[in-house]
Structure 1
Amino acid sequence: MLGLAPDPASAKAAQRLARGDRWSGLGGSERALWGLCQGSGKKPYQTVVDRGGPAFKCSCPSRKFPCKHALGLMLLAATGTLSETAGPETPEPEWATSWLEERAARAGRPERKPGEVADPIAAQQRVARRADRVSAGMAELESWLDDQVRRGLGGFEQRGYSELSRLAARMVDAQAPGVAGAVRRAAAVVGRGHGWPGELLEELSLIHLIVSAHGQLSELPPSLADTVQSRIGWTVETARVLAEGEKVEDDWLVLGRVIEPDDYLTVRRLWLRGSSTGRLALILNFAAGGRQLDPLPARPGELVPAVLSYYPGVLPMRALLTQTAPRLPSPRPAGLNAKQALTSYVESLAADPWNERWPLVLADVRPARNGENWALVDDSGDALEVLPGVDLWKLLAVSAGDPVTVAGEWNRAGFKPMTCWDSDRPVVLS
């Protein structure tokens, strides 16, 4: 039973729960096990196990699957404790019966192929309605951009933020969340520092470029059209990516991870590099506010043997990971100097001008003061500026003035270190 545990902590917790004193309403039949497990709250957790799967359901908030309560319930049955604790004719509770019958009903339906929808005609109609809304939103945004070219940016510091905020809300209504995010970034630039007009023009230029590309979607190469759709905010179903996406098998080095918590949504970016292929990849995970992210497939600095299925695009980066073997330790990776690193970023922009982030591995760099901020300097004296406000105390402690290898995430604002290596030992920085 413990072989089903998602991690050692869950297995250990399940063993503590494999006692009858934590449970009430225990019962079992040929098809299922069920019980109420008292947690920290007033209301016990409803736990049921379908023996035919096995499949599990529990009312606890854990994102692990199976949770410790389901594992504990199965251990109770395996050790004979459940039959000793439960009554001889304990009836199957309604909440367990409804779930089991729902599973049985689903099993009786014809199996859908990957990417198949229940009502394809209705799905096409929904897509068409959304496409119309997106087109209307893009037309409104294009008109506003044309107005700014004619009027100039005089007085924009007073009116720009409110106008851009209104446009961002309009893009949300138009079901173009990617463009809404770009407009919000432009709004955040207004009045920020002495060079804000130049930064604003850069942001508005990228927005104008995606609006123009949307108007020519049918004329674009398929991979570029996929990228434009993705930047607008259209999503690709996981089933389609797994069925049709480019497959690359390798031992993938986990370069590092960045977690951006939010009241509404926590985002985790996991950056990988293939040991043999050199391919780069991004694994994205999301969790609603207050929920936990899925466990990492491997820690930064480790190798995870896997097949990656890439999302479509002109610069394929985002992927889905299917692990094929246990993770492995890895020596310190090879890296680039500052010029080579920036060249790789520029080449990525040539393929995808909207590319916001790029993973880099810098070899033999030292942290050094750069005014009020920091930079990573290579042996030739070239440097990459570190993002303002990033805490470098771990990196400074590992380096102690000596050159180190650092993996991080680069964007137009600077470099965010994720992992460094003390000899061959990885040290997580973020």
Structure 2
Amino acid sequence: MNGDWTTDQVVALAPDPASAKNGKGLATLNKWSNLGKDQQIIWGECQGSGKDPYRTQVDLSEPAFRCSCPSRKFPCKHGLGLLFLMVSESTALTNGTPPDWVADWITSRAKREEKQKQKTSEPEKTVDPEAQAKRAKARFNKVEVGIQELQVWLHDLIRQGLTSVSTESYKFWEQPAARMVDAQAPSLARQLRDIPSVIASGAGWQERLLQKLGKLHLLLEGFQRLDDLPMGLQADIRTQIGWTQNQAELTESENEQGSNHLVQDVWLVMGQQVETEERLRVSRTWLWGQSSDRYALYLQFALGTQPFEHNFMLGTSLEAELAFFESAYPLRVIITNRQSSLSPISILDNLGSETIDLAIASYSRALVKSPWLERFPFTLQQVIPIHKEGKWFIRDRAANLLLMSSRFEHGWTLLALSGGHPVTIFGEWNGNDFYPLSILVGDKLYVA
């Protein structure tokens, strides 16, 4: 049952270090009762501060979690504690018939999976093409008017000079952002609302602001010439404005060369991060295909304490068919067919770039195809994390330095994991700084 699980893999599932620590603290037999297992399901009851113990269950094949505790973290410390206990005290989880509360969960999960399969296999509901075209045209016209107004506003801002906005309040940017929401261009609104953080980013903000406004101008100009651009670039522009791609059509769509966007491969889980935007949690998981030698970004969204549909363990692999979204530089995917569960994988030595210059060159080539890439995957070989003048950098064998993001708070941990020796580090590059997500030490990937 626990042959493929290690303590490091359980730690990788924790939403934060505190949860991992608390989970380890619960991995003692005297805190648990009614422990059991059946195939890939494990369960137990953990005594908390209340009268009744918390009922905890884990489906190891995903993994998926459920617990009766009120925690908003996912997985909670009880789910992690049950996994830690399985690793350290595997004989304590005896084979048996799942109790009713576990059986109900198994049944509900099976029904959801069956419902999802039926949904994907059912023929699409009949849509009135004329009404659909009319709605699409109405939205396009609203977006077009909104973009024309935004272009005028942007030109006025540039004529006044960037220093004129340094003292403006948040309301100055919120007004055009709200207008973009009205124009049904929500992604443009998000970009405008992000600008105050650029102005407050410290020395050199003028250059960063000009770069952001330049990309915004390029996007608006691209929309004016949408029909003259390649299909992939059209898709990028539409996405940056606020249109969403129909995921149901991804498996059927074909690119200009006639081959579809489906890629079957064994995918290595390279890195993942969960961010919270108000009550919405966003999970980003980066995968790398062994045969296809390409990266894929799998996004998931969950409201409040709602669990994500899929959970991934760093350093494991899954055999699956992925469908790439239409783009001039495709990265985002959906999972269309998952053949196997997560399993350990041997890391390939040739994965990644040998120098920072080569990594930047790959980013530049991608940027030529799609100028609005917000995050780009970097795997850097033979690099060392260093601390210099209050900032963290990645140094390669040629002594080149790559600035780490100021949001990254685990520089010392990264240095400790490397032991001061060259290692392989994976993370996200945004054009200005690097955010580490994982580090390869020996043949194991650790959370950065």
TM beyond 0.5? yes
Q: Deviation at 1:112?
A: 5.3
| CA distance in structure 1 between the partners assigned to 2:395 and 2:412 by the alignment | 16
Residue in 1 that maps onto 2:376: 358
Residue in 1 that maps onto 2:140: 131
Residue in 1 that maps onto 2:322: 308
Which residues in structure 2 correspond to 1:27-426 (within 5 Å)? 72-73=103-104, 113-114=123-124, 118-159=127-168, 161-244=170-253, 246-296=261-311, 298-321=312-335, 322-333=337-348, 334-336=351-353, 337-390=355-408, 391-426=410-445
**Is the 1:256–1:300 Cα contact (8 Å) retained in structure 2?**
yes
The code of the aligned residue for 2:277 comes to D
| CA distance in structure 2 between the partners assigned to 1:184 and 1:303 by the alignment | 37
The code of the aligned residue for 1:269 comes to R
- Structure 1 residues 423, 352: CA separation in 2 closer, same or farther (over 3 Å shift)? same
- Partner of 1:258: helix, strand, or coil? strand
Q: Deviation at 1:8?
A: 7.7
- Structure 1 residues 328, 11: CA separation in 2 closer, same or farther (over 3 Å shift)? closer
The number of aligned residues is 345
**Is the 1:186–1:200 Cα contact (8 Å) retained in structure 2?**
yes
Q: Deviation at 1:409?
A: 1.0
**Is the 2:437–2:447 Cα contact (8 Å) retained in structure 1?**
yes
TM-score by length of 1: 0.73
**Is the 1:262–1:289 Cα contact (8 Å) retained in structure 2?**
no
Q: Deviation at 1:311?
A: 0.7
Greater relative CO (CA pairs within 8 A, separation 6+) = 2
**Is the 1:420–1:428 Cα contact (8 Å) retained in structure 2?**
yes
- Partner of 2:144: helix, strand, or coil? helix
The code of the aligned residue for 2:176 comes to L
Residue in 2 that maps onto 1:11: 41
Identify unmatched segments of 5+ residues in structure 1. 1-6, 17-21, 23-38, 42-67, 77-102
Deviates more, 1:309-318 or 1:284-293: 284-293
| CA distance in structure 2 between the partners assigned to 1:402 and 1:168 by the alignment | 47
| CA distance in structure 2 between the partners assigned to 1:194 and 1:251 by the alignment | 44
The code of the aligned residue for 1:155 comes to S
| CA distance in structure 1 between the partners assigned to 2:283 and 2:105 by the alignment | 33
Residue in 1 that maps onto 2:61: none
Q: Which consecutive segments of 4 or more residues in structure 1 shift more than 6 A?
A: 7-10
| CA distance in structure 2 between the partners assigned to 1:349 and 1:282 by the alignment | 17
Find the structure with the greater CA-based Rg: 1
- Structure 1 residues 383, 75: CA separation in 2 closer, same or farther (over 3 Å shift)? closer
Sequence identity (%): 31
| CA distance in structure 2 between the partners assigned to 1:247 and 1:289 by the alignment | 32
| CA distance in structure 1 between the partners assigned to 2:347 and 2:69 by the alignment | 44
Q: 1:131-156: CA deviations, max 9, x gaps?
A: 12211110110111121233323522
Q: Deviation at 1:15?
A: 11
Q: 1:3-27: CA deviations, max 9, x gaps?
A: xxxx9899334999xxxxx9xxxxx
**Is the 1:161–1:190 Cα contact (8 Å) retained in structure 2?**
no
Deviates more, 1:150-159 or 1:135-144: 150-159
- Structure 1 residues 304, 150: CA separation in 2 closer, same or farther (over 3 Å shift)? same
- Partner of 1:236: helix, strand, or coil? coil
Q: 1:260-285: CA deviations, max 9, x gaps?
A: 12322111111111111111111010
**Is the 1:363–1:405 Cα contact (8 Å) retained in structure 2?**
yes
TM-score by length of 2: 0.70
- Superposed CA RMSD in Å reads 3.1
Q: Deviation at 1:393?
A: 3.4
| CA distance in structure 2 between the partners assigned to 1:197 and 1:8 by the alignment | 60
The code of the aligned residue for 2:370 comes to D
- Partner of 2:420: helix, strand, or coil? coil
Identify unmatched segments of 5+ residues in structure 2. 1-36, 47-51, 53-67, 71-98, 108-114, 254-259
Q: 1:51-80: CA deviations, max 9, x gaps?
A: xxxxxxxxxxxxxxxxx978524999xxxx
| CA distance in structure 2 between the partners assigned to 1:74 and 1:209 by the alignment | 50
- Structure 1 residues 206, 69: CA separation in 2 closer, same or farther (over 3 Å shift)? farther
Q: Deviation at 1:384?
A: 1.3
- Partner of 1:12: helix, strand, or coil? strand
| CA distance in structure 2 between the partners assigned to 1:221 and 1:389 by the alignment | 36
**Is the 2:313–2:342 Cα contact (8 Å) retained in structure 1?**
no
Deviates more, 1:223-232 or 1:153-162: 153-162
- Structure 1 residues 367, 214: CA separation in 2 closer, same or farther (over 3 Å shift)? same
- Partner of 2:320: helix, strand, or coil? strand
**Is the 2:423–2:440 Cα contact (8 Å) retained in structure 1?**
yes
- Structure 1 residues 126, 392: CA separation in 2 closer, same or farther (over 3 Å shift)? same
| CA distance in structure 2 between the partners assigned to 1:400 and 1:40 by the alignment | 39
- Structure 1 residues 71, 170: CA separation in 2 closer, same or farther (over 3 Å shift)? same
